């Protein structure tokens, strides 16, 4: 409902005849909870198999942002992200990805809550990967 009022308040001009409300809603739905990151893997993916046919792979991704501080020095800020691959993507990740591989991923942000072995409630944010593009593999010494 909120988007409908937004769409009606926008002056679409001559584009209004080219874009229908249904098309606008489809575009907006594809953008909901969508995450895209490019970075380097911090380790090799760890794969687990459940029930003999469900595969899960987990790996961390480092993204870097460079900026100048107040003194004019270049600084690098590294953020770590938890990636989760399911099914055939998990098998691909386990077989083809390794520490240092640069990848671009697209996925969905998921927040989880669980109880650890000591009985403490923990929270985690993960990216369930839908698409992965391998940009380069780390150089391997011969």
**In this predicted structure, what is the pLDDT of residue 1?**
47
Domains for the chain: give ranges and CATH numbers.
1-32 (no CATH), 34-136 (2.40.50.140)
**In this predicted structure, what is the pLDDT of residue 142?**
46
97 within 8 A of 68, measured Cβ to Cβ: no
**In this predicted structure, what is the pLDDT of residue 105?**
96
Mean pLDDT by 10 residues, the chain (142 residues): 53 57 73 89 94 92 94 95 96 94 95 94 95 83 49
Please state, in angstroms and as integers, the Cα–Cα distance from residue 59 to each residue in 37, 40, 78, 110, following that order: 14, 10, 16, 15
**In this predicted structure, what is the pLDDT of residue 21?**
73
Euclidean distance between CA atoms 29 and 58, whole angstroms: 27
Q: What is the pTM of this model?
A: 0.73
């Amino acid at each position: 409902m909120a988007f409908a009022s937004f769409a009606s308040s926008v002056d679409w001009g001559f584009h209004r005849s080219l874009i229908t409300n249904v098309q606008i809603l489809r575009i907006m739905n594809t953008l909901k909870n969508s995450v895209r990151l490019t970075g380097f893997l911090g380790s090799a993916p760890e794969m687990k198999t459940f029930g003999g046919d469900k595969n899960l792979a987990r790996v961390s991704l480092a993204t870097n942002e460079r900026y100048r501080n107040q003194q004019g020095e270049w600084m690098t800020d590294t953020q770590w992200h938890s990636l989760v691959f399911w099914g055939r993507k998990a098998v691909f990740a386990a077989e083809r990805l390794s520490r240092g591989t640069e990848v671009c991923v697209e996925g969905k942000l998921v927040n989880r809550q669980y109880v650890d072995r000591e009985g403490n409630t923990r929270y985690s944010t993960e990216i369930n990967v839908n698409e992965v593009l391998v940009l380069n593999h780390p150089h391997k010494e011969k």
